[in-house]
Structure 1
Amino acid sequence: MFVPPFLFCSEKWLLLFFVFNGVSLFTSAQTPADNQCVGNGILPGVIKVLNPVGCAPHQIIDTQSPTGLTNVRYIFDYKGGDPSGYTSTTDASFNYTKAGSYVVMKLSENAQGQPQRACTTITVQDPTPPEFTVVPCPDGNVTLTITNHDIPQYEEYVIEWGDGNASIINRLNLSAPHQYANFETKSVTVQGKHKTSNCGGKTTRTISLNVATVPAKITKLEILDATTGELTISNPNQFELTLYRQNGLTTFQNTGIVVRSEEEKVKITVDTNRIFCYKFRPTENCIASLESNILCTTFLKVVPSSTYNTINIAPYIYPAEITKRTVTKNNALWWAPTQTVWSKDDPEAQCGEQACYRLQLSTKDGEILSNEICVNPPAALCASLAGVFVPDAFTPNGDGINDVFEIKTEAEGESEIFIYDRWGNIIFETTPNVRYWNGKLNGQPAPNGPYFYKVIVSDKVGRSFIKRGTVALLR
């Protein structure tokens, strides 16, 4: 049938035009697979949505009066196939909470009981608020850059600079310059806008123009394993920063790693045989001199022996920066090295108990965690020599019975005894001429009570046996 061109302007023919084409003109590419909006002898119906495009949450309503229709129902997310497989509702309105493209199908019967259908497409746009950075220069010029355009993909952004001026930028140029007349703190607002619906999210941030007081800081450098470390960066103004690395005392080199977030973690490659130092520098030329602090890697080495572990630390490349040094053992404070003492022995290992050591350095702005080294206890702690007897008490009262604390062993070798007071101080140790403790301290009888001991017994083939415990001195 020929339809005069002027009739396409009437609502009746316009709606029929939509129905016979299956979907609305807004998103004709969104036609569902196995589309059953029309065909199969089903009569075309009519559906009319005034706002088919909007930002989530977006509510729609069919404003077409159901006069002469019965059994009117809706499928608000039709994806194709037989409509009878969908759950329908008689409610003519629906609220879409997620961005996306949706096909609405309206099912009904006319006065003669014949089924009819109508479909239209609803576009729900992403209202995610814009994220942006503002880089201030010392002369009052700033550059604003949108950093999350890939998520909502707005066609344009409206910028209110906080001084009575505004700018509009589009998705082809996501940065805008601005000149402030003074250096007072500004409240900058950016609203994203989808052109079809004119809706979008809005973000407001307070911007400090005093760039000299807000440099970025590396708050933590942590060695994760033999080849990997991690930097934690605090970037309060969300400047675009580039990571630079120094190998030893050479010049800093650009790593190509860029960060923009207020707080961010960056993985780095490390080498336990080399010292690397790191800093961040703003990418924007006008504030390139506003660099972060410098943190350098540090490493710890553990040298196990047959009876104890030796812990060695290396001097920090910038010693004046260090405010505190600590070494932990199994996550508890064990040693506080000084600037001149770089090694310490740990004789307190226990059989069956692994010891894990880690060095932590503190600076004014950040902390550095070395690699963690775990070692098994010296084999001597777990060796078992037959015929070794260590008494748990002795009575130095001069009666000739059990008057001394000594080791009785069948092993043909050497034995050593160390006695400690309650504060861990050595108060007695054997010598080649004195092989037992007589219960005296500085020539005077020691007080009754428990005393800590460590005994080391070696057999003739070089195996060692170590035991720690307490012995009671009774008079």
Structure 2
Amino acid sequence: MRIRILLLLLGIVWEGWAQCPTKLVNGTQDYKGRLQVSSSQGTTMIAEGTSDRILKICKGTTIQVEDVTANNNPSLTAYNFNYQSAEVDLSAPLFDKVNKSYTYAKAGTYGLIMVGSASGTGSYACQTVQVLGNPDPNFEVDACEIEQVTLVIPKDSSRNPYDEFTVEWGDGNTEKVLKKDLPLTKVHIYKNAGTGVAISVQGTYEGNICSSSKVSKFIDPGKLNQSPKPIVTLLELSATKTVATIQFAGPVSTTQEIFQKEVGGTYVSTGIQIQNNLTSERITNLNPTKQYCFQVRSVGGCASSSGSDEICTLPITVVAKAKQMEVNWSAYPQATAAFESYTVSNGTTTFPVITDRTQTQLIDQSELECGTSYCYRVTARVNNINSISNEVCEEIESTVKPDPITQAYATLAGKAAVLTWESPGGKILDYEILRAEAGSKLEKIEPDTTIVNPYKDRQINPLQRSYCYQISYESACKTWSNPSAAVCTIYLSQKGGELFWTSNNPFTEDLSEYTVQALDAQGNVVASSNVAKATSISVSSLGFPISPDYEYRIQSTSASGHISWSNSIPIQEFFQVYVPDAFTPNGDSQNDVFLPKVLHVNALKLTVFDRWGNSIFSTEDESEGWDGSINGKPAPQGSYSYRLDVRNELGDSFTKRGVFRLIR
């Protein structure tokens, strides 16, 4: 089985790490199963589908699982107690139908997966299980003065991960120490320690989920009058590599002195002496090109040790390359102190521990993003002491062009073109827009404001022509994409009895259809006609009347439903028609006949209707009008309606309707 590990080790120092998968493949287990998990520690939790809660148990704990999905088929239920990938192949032999219990022997975070069948469909559930390690706590006890013992508990994420520590001093006194108090140096005075003392420390996690063994250390009577050597807990190198900070603890009431040397050299005093038994000191004026080692020695008083364990700096360099970082460091010096490991971190990811002292390079090929500064450090673990390198922050380099914009469209809004696009993922530094006028050469727009999405181009005249645009962008890697496919505004015009519009696509995707729309003075659509993918239409074929009160535009629709509008225009009546709104058939030879006047008309038909819609007059002679009579008798005064159908020499038709008054 091939497992693609996409998860990052986020600073966790346990032996394993996983979580519920984020992707299911080769299966349809999309029904939320119900997985009941019970631990031998008495904790029970139910996961429905993928649980966002974490079940915390102690290393060595046995869990019991049960499929409690409604209407489940128990014979088809199977489990995987230790899944280690960001995706799960439901067709692979990953699951166990036999075992319903499991003992976690190693600390870490595990994906516990259940697959099965319920209500006739596949079911799936996952519970994240965090197994807490219970290492023996790391502490030191020693004595310098009579019947006085110093306890040192260092800040140690691997051996002192507990939230609370219980200290038993061996004389009936007990003390609680919290994790936030570390590193801790505590002095305890005994009334009678003539037979020696046994001091024990036990670590416990919050909620008593898990505890360490109780570890005891004995101080014999003779040692109560002997000075212990100082204990170094941390060494950290500054970003400039010219300052080292050392943390240490020494015997009470004893002067401590710091010594340094170059690797391979001889120790000399730094001149720094400290009376405080627990301190942090800075050693300055270091040569950034060299590697140094340090030792703390007790001087005067009851001091009898030769000094602390040696701890050395770990200078690093980082080289940014295309899509990766190269981290290099000086090998930790070969010494009598026990080298344990290197740990490399970039601020978001902690990489697997390196146990080979001679390995001095790590190539970071994780999912690094341009525009993000990654800060690297290497920690050497030596004799239970951490030596932390200088921090180096870099951004990755890239010469690869980012993917072009693939979804964009152009439309008109008043006298401006509006460009809208779907931005690609990641940080974008800048945009560039190219514009061409009606088939001319594309040229870069010099915007009067910063380009934002959507962008309004007001430097155009959409009532004269169409404009085409291409969009490109600068990625966080400071490389420019290729321009997008061109998107163009629609230019609508009228020639005689025909409407024409430009055919260049306003969308980067396929165009679905055009629609001719009539708009009232408020911009509301009052009529429309779908013309499929045609780019012209006769006015007489629109299927709705033409009005001088309306403007007309083209609406185009893309395959995914985006809308683009053309400019709006009034439709000029290519027939010249004048219809009076009143006449007076009183025999005075003025306005005695209701007669429309027409030009450029090849044929017409005039019909007059009474107020009830009855036809009372009709003619196809353009010189004949209605004289105001019905069946030879004068028609009553009032309002009448008309319909005038005309056709020109080109065969274009036009219908005009209206109302007029007969006045007597």
Q: TM-score with structure 2 length normalisation?
A: 0.29
Bigger helix fraction: 1
Q: Which of 1 and 2 has greater Rg?
A: 2
